[in-house]
Amino acid sequence: MTALPQSRQLTKRAGRSRSKRNLLAAAIFLVPTVVLILVLRVVPTFVAASQSLHRGIPGSIDAPAFVGAQVYAGLFQSPGFWQTLGQTLLFNVIVNPLQIFISLLLAVLLTRGLPASGVWRTLIFLPAAVPLAGSTIVWGLALRPDGPVNGVLQALGLPAQPFLTSPNQVIGSLILIVSWIGVGYWMIFLIAGLNDIPTVYLEAARMDGAGALRTFFSITIPMLRRPLLFVLVADTVSNFVLFAPVQILTNGGPQGQSNFLMFDVYNQSYNLSNPYAGSAELVILLVIMIAIVTVQFRLLGRGEDN
Amino acid sequence: MQVHKGVRRWLIAAAVTSIAAASLVGCSSSGSGTSATALPTKLTEPTKPVTITYAGAAYSAADIKPVIAAFEKAHPNITVKYEADPFNDFNSILGAQLSTKDKAIDVFDVDMPRTAAYQARGWLTDISSVFPDLKSKVDAASLAAATVNGKLVGMPYQSSTNLMYYNKKLLSAAGIADPSSSPSGRMTWEQVGTDAKKAQAAGAKYGLVFDQIDRYYQLETLSSSAGGGPGGTGTGNLTPAVDNAGWTKALTWYGDLFKDGVAPRGVTTQETPNLFANGQVAFFPGGPWWAPMFEGSKDLDFGVAPYPAFAGGTAATPTGGWSLGLSPTSTHKDAALIFMKFIGLDNGGYSQYLTALSVPPSNLAGGTKFYDNAAFKDPRMAGVVSLMKSELKNTAILRLKTVGYVEFENIITKTYDDIINGADVKSSLASATTQLKSAWATYKK
């Protein structure tokens, strides 16, 4: 009878040393990532937060003075900042649901055994493989008032549009450009998610007499929750920090209508060498993004454990 | 439990490291101003090999290569590492490097209108004691642009001027006579606008396209010619003065070009020279530096005329260019100053080593050689040499001299873009005034 506790103790000891070894291995593998996260994410966030509480002559090599929340107060009193904030939210309220809706639609279509679906999938994904700056420049040329898109419109008897040069159409034009790229990219994640849904559920639903719509909303969407949550969060974040098309095509205009927060952070920090206002805007952007992503997690992450 | 303890230990370690790193960064970014080391009054050649870094945007690495080769031959102990930055991003790149006291740069190009701003930021070094007598060696406008409050803070090396190219084929198709190349035959903007429309009706794709379509460098001349001034007034030129009759007149005229389709919307400054080179534009007010490119288009029959002015207004042509600034953090100030002297002064300066130079150098002796350039011998450029000399002497205007120039240029460029895209001129200028007031408040405290 004494043999048993002894062997238990031995197993326990072996287990302890194994878990120690595992921990060491995990630590070694994690170190590079943790260091990168610290250097590239955590530290800059602290620096930005600290910088947003200071003010100095733009670009000056002299030490800035601590001014508390004055930089924030200045921003909240500036009509330009409110316009920036409003336009950023407007852009995101439209672009994120739109991109996810189209991606989901395409993903469902392309998993329905259409003829040559591989070719379609490749064609739709292809824009994501082109560097963003490159496709932005091509779109900029295409959408010029005397460019090919207007050529096609006029050939069809439709009036030419000002697109990026109009304060009323600039957001729509930017949505078109980023969606052309984004939709195919996010679609791939959703296709993977759809292919992961065990067919038994779909068959069971069919046997229970559920129609296509009922199956989609009661089986597909709930089973797709994880990839959908990822796509929703990642897409939202990428659109909030959208920069290249604004920098290359609109420079924040016309009339400040595309002066999104991320672009203004860059403009303040680098063009105007005013990292204090830039950092304050960055902190505000961060707070907004965290709030929105938290809501998204609450909505879609709910029922994850069931 | 073991695992949890381990994780906790890791989390604590991570938190401590991050706080330590953050405080380190905090320290380095909040250090006190640099104590400028005294400059030598007599430049001494280094006895050991030294490498200096030169950040530039005026010339590409290939264009500047013969100049640097000549310098290194004359000064064998000094090697120059040239970092070419794109013009559009140059100011932000400099800002990022110099405001963090980057020791990597010794010498850098200074866009002349930004001199006062850079000086206020502490990016430049007072070099008056090293070069006390530039007056007799460089042109007056360049010297004025490199001087702030009586201190020489840069070595001016390149100036500039503008003229108006026209496409002979497109004008003759519309029955328009070639404009004169003499300053006394200067056209009015009103006339150019009317002729541009005629040329467009006769087949030109665009009537009139400005080289720097939305940049203050070129468009300042419009508001200046219309009597609107450079855009700032009062102490330090820090009171906005763009919401006035002159600016309104000039920009209404300019905005109408786009409204009427005489000039294209949605085109960037980078694209405009190609439009003229491809024979799509009747009138192209622009820099002489495009001459080699236009001459390269064999089928392009063009001529040059004086830069126009508004009827009843004063003639105004763009000028200003580049200086070399010495970084206060440079650890090779001697070598850097020897390089600056070579570029700006030695034997007429850098321009003699360039093969395809078509921008006037600031150095007066170098200027003489510049006008002998092959680019100006092409028959299509007939009359350009005396025209450039006359414009530089009589009509050249510098950009607004103020410590708040960076913000000014940023806001004014956006205002131009809005007007080009059809925004109301009066309200755009009023909005620019509000933005300038808020941006310049920092400097008035």
Instruction: Give the separation between CA B323 and CA B156, rounded to whole angstroms.
Output: 4
Using a CB-CB cut-off of 8 Å, the residues of chain B touching A30 are 10
Query: For residues B141-180, b (16+ Cβ closer than 10 Å) or e, as one string?
Result: bbbebbbbeeebbbbbbbbbbbbbbbbeebbebbebeebe
Structure tokens at A65: 């003075």
User: pLDDT digit string (tens) for B239-259?
Assistant: 999 999 999 999 999 999 999
pLDDT at B148: 94
User: Is B99 close to A60, i.e. CB distance below 8 A?
Assistant: yes
Of A61, A112, A19, nearest to B121 (Cα)? Answer: A61
pLDDT at B254: 98
Helix axis angle, B245-259 relative to B425-444, nearest 10°? 130
Q: Is the pLDDT of residue B17 over 70?
A: no
Instruction: List the single residue in A23, A38, A253 with the smallest CB-CB distance to B417.
Output: A253
User: Is A59 close to B95, i.e. CB distance below 8 A?
Assistant: yes
Q: Is the pLDDT of residue A305 over 90?
A: no
Of B348, B424, B327, A68, nearest to B335 (Cα)? Answer: B327
CA distances in angstroms from B325 to B86, B116, B146, B403, listed in the order given? 18, 12, 9, 16
Mutate to test the interface with A, among B88, B121, B262, B443 (most CBs of A within 10 A): B121
pLDDT at A8: 64
Query: Is the torsion defined by CA of B154, B158, B159, B165 positive or negative?
Result: negative
Contacting residues for B442 by C-beta, under 8 A, at least 6 apart? A55, A57, A58, B404
User: Is A50 close to B101, i.e. CB distance below 8 A?
Assistant: no
Banded pLDDT at B22 (limits 50, 70, 90): very low
Q: How is B312-360 classified by DSSP, letter by letter?
A: TS---EE---EEEEE-TT-S-HHHHHHHHHHHHTGGG-GGGG-SS--S-
Instruction: Give the separation between CA B267 and CA B264, rounded to whole angstroms.
Output: 6
Instruction: Give the separation between CA A132 and CA A144, rounded to whole angstroms.
Output: 18
Using a CB-CB cut-off of 8 Å, the residues of chain B touching A165 are 265-266, 420-422
B141-145 — which CB contacts under 8 Å span 24+ positions?
A: B141/B319, B141/B320, B141/B392, B141/B396, B141/B398, B142/B112, B142/B320, B142/B321, B142/B323, B142/B362, B143/B362, B144/B398, B145/B112, B145/B113, B145/B115, B145/B320, B145/B323, B145/B398, B145/B401
Region A264-270 average pLDDT: 92
Would you give the distance in Å from CA B2 to the centre of its chain?
A: 65
Which class is A79-301 in CATH?
A: mainly alpha
Region A242-268 average pLDDT: 93
Lowest mean pLDDT among A7-21, A51-65, A167-181, B39-53: A7-21
Q: Is the pLDDT of residue A15 over 80?
A: no
pLDDT at B405: 95
Q: Residues B104, B110, B116, B122: what is their CA dihedral angle, to the nearest 10 degrees?
A: 10
Banded pLDDT at B87 (limits 50, 70, 90): confident
Instruction: Give the separation between CA B415 and CA B421, rounded to whole angstroms.
Output: 10
Q: Is the pLDDT of residue A105 over 90?
A: yes
Pairwise pLDDT comparison (B87 vs A230), residue with the higher score: A230
Banded pLDDT at B98 (limits 50, 70, 90): confident
Instruction: Give the separation between CA A287 and CA B173, rounded to whole angstroms.
Output: 62
Lowest mean pLDDT among A76-90, A170-184, B84-98, B339-353: B84-98
User: Is A251 close to B266, i.e. CB distance below 8 A?
Assistant: no
User: pLDDT digit string (tens) for A24-38?
Assistant: 999 999 999 999 999
Region A106-116 average pLDDT: 87
Q: What is the largest CA-CA distance in chain B?
A: 93
User: Which 79-98 residues of chain B touch chain A by CB within 8 A?
Assistant: 91-92, 95-96, 98
CA distance A14 to chain B (A): 13
The answer to whether the B50-159+320-370 and B163-318+397-444 domains have the same CATH topology is yes
Of A274, A236, A259, A104, nearest to A171 (Cα)? Answer: A259
CA distance A143 to chain B (A): 9
Using a CB-CB cut-off of 8 Å, the residues of chain B touching A145 are 264-266
User: Is B121 close to A19, i.e. CB distance below 8 A?
Assistant: no
Q: Are B352 and B267 in contact (CB under 8 A)?
A: no
Q: Is the ipTM of this complex over 0.90?
A: no
Q: Are B316 and B183 in contact (CB under 8 A)?
A: no
Q: Are B443 and B238 in contact (CB under 8 A)?
A: yes
pLDDT at A93: 95
pLDDT at A206: 87
Q: Is the pLDDT of residue B397 over 70?
A: yes
Region A160-177 average pLDDT: 94
User: pLDDT digit string (tens) for B406-440?
Assistant: 999 999 999 999 999 999 999 999 999 999 998 89
Q: What is the mean pLDDT of chain A?
A: 89
User: Which 36-65 residues of chain B touch chain A by CB within 8 A?
Assistant: none
% of chain B exceeding 70 in pLDDT? 90
What's at B360, amino acid-wise? P
What's at A192, amino acid-wise? A
pLDDT at B30: 35
Structure tokens at B338: 């020897």
CATH topology of domain B50-159+320-370: D-Maltodextrin-Binding Protein; domain 2 (3.40.190)
Query: For residues B372-392, b (16+ Cβ closer than 10 Å) or e, as one string?
Result: ebebbeeeebebbbebbebbb
CA distance B423 to chain A (A): 8
User: Is B421 close to A58, i.e. CB distance below 8 A?
Assistant: no
Of B409, B432, B440, B401, nearest to B237 (Cα)? Answer: B401
Using a CB-CB cut-off of 8 Å, the residues of chain A touching B101 are 61
Region A122-134 average pLDDT: 88
Q: Is the pLDDT of residue B94 over 90?
A: no
CATH 1.10.3720.10 residue ranges in chain A? 79-301
Residue A178, burial from CB neighbour count under 10 angstroms (0-12, 13-18, 19+)? buried
pLDDT at A302: 64
pLDDT at B18: 42
Q: Is the pLDDT of residue A265 over 90?
A: yes
Region B333-347 average pLDDT: 95
User: pLDDT digit string (tens) for A48-78?
Assistant: 999 999 988 888 878 889 999 999 999 999 8
CA distance A10 to chain B (A): 17
Question: What is the CATH superfamily name and number for domain B163-318+397-444?
Answer: Periplasmic binding protein-like II (3.40.190.10)
Banded pLDDT at B321 (limits 50, 70, 90): very high
Q: Please check whether residue B438 touches A, CB under 8 A.
A: yes
Using a CB-CB cut-off of 8 Å, the residues of chain B touching A143 are 266
Assign B49 to helix, strand or coil: coil
User: Which 271-290 residues of chain B touch chain A by CB within 8 A?
Assistant: none
Banded pLDDT at B150 (limits 50, 70, 90): very high
Q: Please check whether residue B28 touches A, CB under 8 A.
A: no
Q: Is the pLDDT of residue B287 over 80?
A: yes
CA distance A146 to chain B (A): 8
Q: Cis link prior to A254 (omega < 30° from 0)? A: yes
Q: What is the mean pLDDT of chain B?
A: 89
Using a CB-CB cut-off of 8 Å, the residues of chain A touching B264 are 144-146
Phi and psi at B68, nearest 5°, equal -65, -40
Task: Please report the number of interchain residue pairs, chain A to chain B, with beta-carbon separation below 8 angstroms.
Answer: 137
User: pLDDT digit string (tens) for B182-208?
Assistant: 999 999 999 999 999 999 999 999 999
Q: Is the pLDDT of residue B3 over 60?
A: no
User: Which 240-269 residues of chain B touch chain A by CB within 8 A?
Assistant: 264-267
User: Is A63 close to B95, i.e. CB distance below 8 A?
Assistant: no
User: Is B18 close to A167, i.e. CB distance below 8 A?
Assistant: no
User: Is A57 close to B32, i.e. CB distance below 8 A?
Assistant: no
User: pLDDT digit string (tens) for B272-281?
Assistant: 999 999 999 9
Q: How is B12-39 classified by DSSP, letter by letter?
A: HHHHHHHHHHHHHHHHHHTPPPP-PPPP
CA distance B100 to chain A (A): 7
Pairwise pLDDT comparison (A207 vs B220), residue with the higher score: B220
Region A171-177 average pLDDT: 96
User: Is B265 close to A145, i.e. CB distance below 8 A?
Assistant: yes
List B80's β-bridge partners, or say none.
B52
Radius of gyration from C-alpha coordinates of chain B = 25
* Continuous segment of H or E residues that includes residue A285: helix A275-301
Domain borders along chain B are 50-159+320-370, 163-318+397-444
Banded pLDDT at A94 (limits 50, 70, 90): very high
Instruction: List the single residue in A20, A80, A164 with the smallest CB-CB distance to B435.
Output: A80
Instruction: List the single residue in B92, B418, B438 with the smallest CB-CB distance to A254.
Output: B418
Banded pLDDT at A213 (limits 50, 70, 90): confident
User: Is B95 close to A270, i.e. CB distance below 8 A?
Assistant: yes
Mutate to test the interface with B, among A36, A43, A177, A268 (most CBs of B within 10 A): A43
CA distances in angstroms from B74 to B61, B78, B79, listed in the order given? 19, 9, 11
pLDDT at B375: 85
User: Is A165 close to B422, i.e. CB distance below 8 A?
Assistant: yes
Using a CB-CB cut-off of 8 Å, the residues of chain A touching B424 are none
Query: What letter does residue A166 receive in the DSSP assignment?
Result: S
